[in-house]
C-alpha cells in the first residue's frame, strides 16, 4: 500500500525552471522519501500558450492558405523514421539527428526535416507528380538560441513540387511562394540569396577541387555568412587539406553577389567555367530562371550569391535561403561567445536568427529510395523535386519583436462577445439558460462568444471576465428587458459609460456582426494587422 502526495506548483508559461520537491509514493522506514528534481522543459524546447499561440496559429493559417492557392495538398508522416531512411542525407549535419532506442528490433530516429520523409513517401507510394505541403515539428540536436527562434524542437512549413516539368518552371513558382509567404506575414526587408549547385560544383572543379572533396568544400563555403573569408580559407586549407592556390581561386568566385543578370554576365565570360559541363548546365538554367523571376515580379528580392552552398547533401540544382538584417550574428558575437558559460543552454546572445526560409532542388533524393521494396512490391522511379521550407519559430521571433515595439492588442483568446445577465431581487434566476440560448445563436452564426458558468452571476464579475478575455462586444440580458424580447449590445473597452444599444433579440446576430466590423481598423482585426505588419 502506498500513499501519494505532490506539492502545489504554479508553472510559469515562460518555461523558467523551478526546483520542486516531489513526495514519492513509497515509504522508507515509515517516512515518505523526498526526491529533488528540476521542473523545466528539455533544452531547446518551450511551452507555447496565450498570445504566442494566437500568433503562431495565425502564421500557420497564412501559409496554409498560400499553399492551397498554389494547388498544394497536405500530407502527414510519422515523427520518427527508420534510421536508414535518414542516414547519409544531411552531410556534416547528420550528427544533429536524434536517435531513438531500439524498440522491438527497429532502429529509428526523430525526423530532422520534412524533405527526406516526403521523398520516402513519394518513392513508397509510386507517386510521379504531386504538389504537397506539410506543417509539422522536426528535431535537431543543435545549440539552441531560444529568443532567435533557433530550437531543438520546431515547426517547419514545407511546400514541394515533385514530378518532371519544363526546366525552372516549378523552381520559379517556389521562389514566388517564398516571396508571397514572407510579405504576407509583413516581412518585407528580406533578401533571397540563391545559387546553383551545378555552377558551384563547376567552380570547384575548375579551381582544382577533387570530386570526392566537393561536398566538404561546399560545407566550408556555406559558413561565409557567419565567418570572414580568411577563416573559411583557413578551414579549407588546414582542415579540408586543400592547397592554398585552390582556395584563392575559389575565393575569387564565392565573393561575387548581385542580380541574376549581373552575375551571369560575369560568369558566362569565364571560358573555363563556360566549358565545364556542370557549370554550363547551371548557367543555362539560371538564364531561364531570370526570365521567369521577372514574370513573377520578384527580382527585387533576389541576390545571386555564389557564397551560398547549403550544407545538406541532397541538393542538386537551384538552392536558396531568405535572410533579414536579424539573420546575421551581432558584431561582437565572438567576444560574447568567449564570455558565455560552457554549460550555457542558450546561445541567443551571440548568434543571429539565421535564414527564415530555405530550400532547393533535389532531383536524386527520391531515387535513393527507388530500389527499395514498396508496399505494392514494385520499385519506384527517381522523381525530380524542388521545395521551400519556412522556419516558423524564426519568423515568429520577428513578428514577436514587431508586437513588442508597436501597439498591437493581441488577445490570448478568440472570444469576440461576452454574454451577460443583469438583475436581482425576488424571482431572479440569473438567466443562465437564456444566456445559453443567445450563445447558441451566435455560435451558429460563426461568432466566438462566452458567458460565465454561474447561474446568478455578479455583474462586476461578468465585466471582469469579459475584460480578461479582451472581448470587444458585450451582449446584456436585462431582467426587465429580455422578457419583452429585447437585449442590449455594448462596445467594451471604450471607456464610455453607456448602457449599450437596445435591440430586438432576433436582430442580435446582425447587430453583433456590425459592431465587430466597426471595431476593426479598416475592417482588419488586430492579429491580421500584426501578421501583415499593417
Binding site as annotated, residues: 113-115, 140, 156, 160, 310, 314-315
Output the CA–CA distances (angstroms, integers) from residue 47 to 44, 50, 146, 397, 424, in the order listed. Answer: 11, 10, 12, 15, 43
- The binding site for L-histidine comprises 113-115, 140, 156, 160, 310, 314-315
Tell me if 489 sits within 8 A of 441, measured CB to CB.
no
DSSP state of 137: E
Coil, helix or strand at residue 36: strand
Tell me if 384 sits within 8 A of 361, measured CB to CB.
yes
Secondary structure (DSSP) of 76-118: ---SEEEHHHHTTSSGGGGGG--BPPP-SS--EEE-S-SHHHH
Residues in the chain: 534
Cell numbers 527526406: residue: 116
The span from the CA of 160 to the CA of 132, in Å, is 6
Tell me if 356 sits within 8 A of 190, measured CB to CB.
yes
> 169 is written with which cell numbers?
518552371
The span from the CA of 306 to the CA of 328, in Å, is 17
The span from the CA of 250 to the CA of 308, in Å, is 13
Neighbouring C-alpha atoms within 13 Å toward the C-beta of 399: 32
Give the closest residue to 269 by CA, choosing from 279, 278, 255: 279
The span from the CA of 364 to the CA of 354, in Å, is 27
Give the closest residue to 330 by CA, choosing from 343, 340, 316: 340
Output the CA–CA distances (angstroms, integers) from residue 381 to 106, 110, 369, in the order listed. Answer: 26, 26, 9
Tell me if 202 sits within 8 A of 326, measured CB to CB.
no
Coil, helix or strand at residue 484: helix
> 256 is written with which cell numbers?
561575387
DSSP state of 311: S
Backbone torsions φ then ψ of 462, nearest 5 degrees? -70, -45
> 472 is written with which cell numbers?
470587444
Which DSSP helix (H) or strand (E) runs through 290?
helix 277-295
> 346 is written with which cell numbers?
542558450
Furthest-apart CA atoms within the chain: distance in Å: 98
Secondary structure (DSSP) of 347-392: -TTT-----SEEEEE-SSHHHHHHTS--TTS-------EEEEEEEH
Give the closest residue to 177 by CA, choosing from 87, 281, 292: 292
Amino acid at each position: 500500500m502506498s500513499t501519494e502526495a505532490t506539492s502545489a506548483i504554479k508553472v510559469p508559461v515562460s518555461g523558467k525552471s523551478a526546483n520542486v520537491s516531489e513526495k514519492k509514493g513509497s515509504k522508507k522506514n515509515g517516512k515518505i522519501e523526498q526526491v529533488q528534481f528540476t521542473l523545466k522543459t528539455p533544452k531547446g524546447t518551450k511551452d507555447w500558450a496565450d498570445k504566442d499561440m494566437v500568433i503562431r496559429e495565425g502564421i500557420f493559417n497564412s501559409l496554409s492558405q498560400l499553399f492551397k492557392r498554389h494547388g498544394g495538398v497536405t500530407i502527414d508522416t510519422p515523427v520518427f523514421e527508420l534510421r536508414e531512411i535518414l542516414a547519409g542525407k544531411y552531410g556534416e549535419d547528420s550528427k544533429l539527428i536524434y536517435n531513438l532506442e531500439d524498440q522491438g528490433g527497429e532502429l529509428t530516429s526523430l525526423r530532422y526535416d520534412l524533405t527526406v520523409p516526403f521523398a520516402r513517401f513519394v518513392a513508397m507510394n509510386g507517386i510521379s507528380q504531386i504538389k504537397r505541403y506539410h506543417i509539422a515539428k522536426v528535431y535537431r540536436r543543435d545549440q539552441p538560441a531560444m529568443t532567435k527562434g533557433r530550437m531543438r524542437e520546431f515547426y517547419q512549413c514545407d511546400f514541394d513540387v515533385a514530378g518532371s516539368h519544363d526546366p525552372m518552371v516549378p523552381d520559379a513558382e517556389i521562389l514566388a511562394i517564398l516571396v508571397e509567404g514572407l510579405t504576407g506575414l509583413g516581412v518585407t526587408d528580406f533578401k533571397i540569396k540563391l545559387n546553383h549547385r551545378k555552377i558551384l560544383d563547376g567552380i570547384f572543379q575548375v579551381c582544382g577541387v577533387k570530386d570526392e572533396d566537393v561536398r566538404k568544400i561546399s560545407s566550408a563555403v556555406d559558413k561565409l555568412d557567419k565567418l570572414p573569408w580568411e577563416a573559411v580559407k583557413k578551414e579549407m586549407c588546414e582542415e579540408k587539406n586543400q592547397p592554398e592556390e585552390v582556395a584563392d581561386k575559389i575565393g575569387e568566385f564565392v565573393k561575387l553577389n548581385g542580380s541574376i543578370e549581373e552575375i551571369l554576365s560575369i560568369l558566362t565570360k569565364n571560358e573555363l567555367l563556360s566549358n565545364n559541363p556542370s557549370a554550363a548546365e547551371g548557367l543555362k538554367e539560371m538564364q531561364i530562371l531570370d526570365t521567369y523571376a521577372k514574370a513573377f515580379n520578384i527580382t527585387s528580392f533576389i541576390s545571386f550569391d555564389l557564397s551560398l552552398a547549403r550544407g545538406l547533401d541532397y541538393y542538386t540544382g537551384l538552392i536558396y535561403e531568405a535572410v533579414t538584417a536579424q539573420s546575421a550574428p551581432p558584431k561582437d558575437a565572438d567576444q560574447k561567445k568567449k564570455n558565455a558559460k560552457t554549460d550555457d543552454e542558450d546561445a541567443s546572445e551571440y548568434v543571429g536568427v539565421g535564414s527564415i526560409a530555405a530550400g532547393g532542388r533535389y532531383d536524386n533524393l527520391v531515387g535513393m529510395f527507388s530500389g527499395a521494396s514498396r508496399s505494392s512490391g514494385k520499385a519506384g522511379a527517381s522523381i525530380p523535386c524542388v521545395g521551400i521550407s519556412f522556419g516558423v519559430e524564426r519568423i515568429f521571433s520577428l513578428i514577436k519583436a514587431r508586437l513588442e515595439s508597436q501597439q498591437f492588442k493581441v488577445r490570448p483568446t478568440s472570444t469576440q462577445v461576452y454574454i451577460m445577465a443583469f438583475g436581482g431581487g425576488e424571482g431572479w434566476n440569473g438567466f443562465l439558460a437564456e444566456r445559453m440560448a443567445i450563445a447558441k445563436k451566435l455560435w451558429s452564426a460563426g461568432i466566438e462568444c462566452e458567458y460565465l458558468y454561474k447561474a446568478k452571476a455578479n455583474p462586476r464579475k461578468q465585466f471582469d471576465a469579459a475584460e480578461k478575455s479582451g472581448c470587444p462586444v458585450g451582449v446584456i440580458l436585462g431582467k426587465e428587458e429580455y422578457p419583452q424580447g429585447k437585449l442590449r449590445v455594448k462596445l467594451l473597452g471604450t471607456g464610455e459609460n453607456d448602457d449599450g444599444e437596445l435591440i430586438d433579440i432576433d436582430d442580435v446576430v446582425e447587430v453583433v456582426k456590425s459592431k465587430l466590423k466597426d471595431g476593426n481598423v479598416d475592417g482588419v482585426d488586430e492579429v491580421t494587422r500584426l501578421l501583415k505588419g499593417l
